[in-house]
Structure 1
Amino acid sequence: MPFPKLPPRVAYIRLSNPTKRNALSIPVLQDLKSQIDSALTSRATSRTRQLPRFKSIYLDQLEKASKNPTSTVWDRWGWLVSASEWKKERAGLPDVLVLRSEGPVFSSGHDLKELSRMSRDDVKTLFQLCSEVMMSIRRSPVPVVCPIQGLATAAGFQLAMSTDFPIALPDTQFSLPGAKIGLPCTSPSTAISRRFPPGATYRLLATAEPIKASDYPGAVDVVKVLPDEDPEEALEKRVAAVVERLASMSPQQQAIGKWAYWTQFGLGTTHSDGYEQASHWAARVMALHAKSEDAKEGIAAFLEKREAVWVSKGDPEEPKKAATEVDAPEAQAQNDALSSETGASAAALDVDAPATEVADPATETETDGPTTTTRS
């Protein structure tokens, strides 16, 4: 079914893998990255423009660019501090992005069955791409709205919570199911913990129990559905209202405001709001999870449709019979496409995550964003 028509200067970012419950495979992530880069790449200069990292030290550069168009930092940040330069740099590009998928599942994260067939290099490529997509959304200078029309789990949950305006119906379900297979969703929790209360996020991480959007109306924009109103129509009305409101604002000032908000949010800490650093750090923790015998046993048990016998439990009791299948679409989606941010197969779990060093803010060199795209 086609998505609703958008107003001028608003564009879709389409997550399109409905037959696989919108799993975040390498081709899907590459497509998402390409769409985002296209929306952020100037047609005038072919440069991909992102917000500065959310660190207060960049305010000095923005102030210098604002005061002196001949300064060395003007070429980097002039488009961000000047409304007229923004207009020239982003001519023909959208002022608002809408990330969405179709089907009963927004995204199930990474598909363990697919990952079990991946080479070690493919596993590394997958997680590098996933991180790049999350950070491209996070540092997008134009707001990203995300209608969550169905279940969002693990990396799919992280994707939705990395956007600026996640919107969901009251009964939309979220979960971090990795603990079920001995592979906690540590990396997805970095995004979740920045929207949900810390205690609630930890319960999601530790218990793998699903929640509904209505349980935490402060974390996402929960749509109010009137009696006798069609829920899907209510969702579309709310999305349209948010998009229209954002599109009416000054896009250049929206960009500065987004950067300033998340930067001030982290003032007093070592690494600003910390999401980027936390995401890289958590990836290393995921490698520790993945090397455990329990993680390998959990994945094998899932793929073989049996209960896991955890090595760390000591002498196990007789394995119980497999849990009865549940017909509910949300439960079926979680069982069929149980996902986790490491999501590696038993063979690929021996992959060592590269040691990611956190740069010293005082010496860090800022780049404009992803590799420059040249348009033909």
Structure 2
Amino acid sequence: MSLQYLLYEEEEKIGFISLNRPEKRNALSRALLEELTALLLKIGQEKKVKVVVLKGIGKIFSAGHDLKEIADGSPQDVLEIFQTCFLTMRAIREIPQPIIAQVHGIATAAGCQLVAAADLAVAAEDAQFATPGVKIGLFCTTPAVFLSRNIGRKKAMEMLLTGEFMSAQDALIYGLVNKVVPSSELEAATKELASKIARYSLSAIGVGKKAFYQQINMEDFQALNYATEVVSLNTTTADAQEGIMAFLEKREPRWSDN
């Protein structure tokens, strides 16, 4: 597919998506979000890669929504922008491949939402995160959804109510990111994490990703009942049967998607 606001490449079963509006601080315009959603769905359907890295070109990861687009739009236009972002978030959640956010510079507002919505995140040690909408009278209500599902309520509300930056180290402590590394090691560390995941069966990864998010807000034994059904069905797949036999025969498994 032709891309105007993104770059995309594939390497060793890893897909690399780059937000490519450095002159606009990788602002998430409606057109960029539409392009990102379409690309994610294509990746999910084609299944050529097993994991996706999402990063930004230029000095920062993303400054969030394009405020000029919001300021110039009618109420209906603005609603459609946020509905477009909703579809992007849903694509991140619903494709079988895990999404790893590779964060440098800053990730603010909807940029922070992208990090929080990703399945995993690796940050440079000088990266910063914020939901500063309160400072301009536009509370970061939509970023709050995924932010509050990553970090504790009190810390989420502190970020939302003050608009102040959270450091990469605090983001690690509070659970917004998985790993913090020196800036010079960010790309290599993210690729290393992606490569670990890419060794496994996409069939199993996809089942696991879907089940994880389905069960997470269920009551304990409702979740366990659901997980029991999922894992039982998972055992009937070709990759599960191959993996079990490979373990018993003390050899490397040969996945169907390799």
**2:217 paired residue number:** 266
Work out the CA distance in 1 between the residues paired with 2:154 and 2:201: 37
Among 194, 201, 206, which residue is 1:255 paired with? 206
Cα distance per residue 1:205-258 (max 9 Å; x no partner): 111111111013141123233xxxxx22x1112112101101001111111111
**2:181 paired residue number:** 224
Structure 2: gaps of 5 or more residues: 1-6, 224-258
Does residue 116 of structure 2 align to residue 161 of structure 1? yes
Among 33, 37, 47, which residue is 1:33 paired with? 37
Does residue 149 of structure 2 align to residue 194 of structure 1? yes
Task: Name the SS for the 2:197 alignment partner.
Answer: helix
Structure 1 residues 358-373: aligned runs within 5 Å? none
Which has the larger displacement, 33-42 or 170-179?
33-42
CA contact 2:8–2:18 (8 Å) conserved in 1: no
Does residue 71 of structure 2 align to residue 108 of structure 1? no
Q: Structure 2-normalised TM-score? A: 0.77
**Which structure has greater helix proportion?**
2
Cα distance per residue 1:318-364 (max 9 Å; x no partner): xxxxxxxxxxxxxxxxxxxxxxxxxxxxxxxxxxxxxxxxxxxxxxx
* Cα displacement (A) at 1:115: 1.7
Work out the CA distance in 2 between the residues paired with 1:8 and 1:216: 29
* Cα displacement (A) at 1:156: 0.9
**1:13 paired residue number:** 17
Work out the CA distance in 2 between the residues paired with 1:5 and 1:32: 14
Query: How many residue pairs end up in the alignment?
Result: 214
Cα distance per residue 1:109-141 (max 9 Å; x no partner): 113223211233321221111000011101221
Structure number with the bigger relative contact order (C-alpha 8 A, sep ≥ 6) is 1
Task: Name the SS for the 1:105 alignment partner.
Answer: coil
**2:194 paired residue number:** 243
CA contact 2:129–2:165 (8 Å) conserved in 1: yes
Work out the CA distance in 1 between the residues paired with 2:165 and 2:113: 14
Q: Structure 1-normalised TM-score? A: 0.54
Task: Name the SS for the 2:49 alignment partner.
Answer: coil
Q: What letter matches 1:113 in structure 2?
A: K
Structure 1: gaps of 5 or more residues: 43-89, 226-230, 273-376
Cα distance per residue 1:121-172 (max 9 Å; x no partner): 3212211110000111012211111101220111111012111111101221
**Which structure has greater strand proportion?**
2
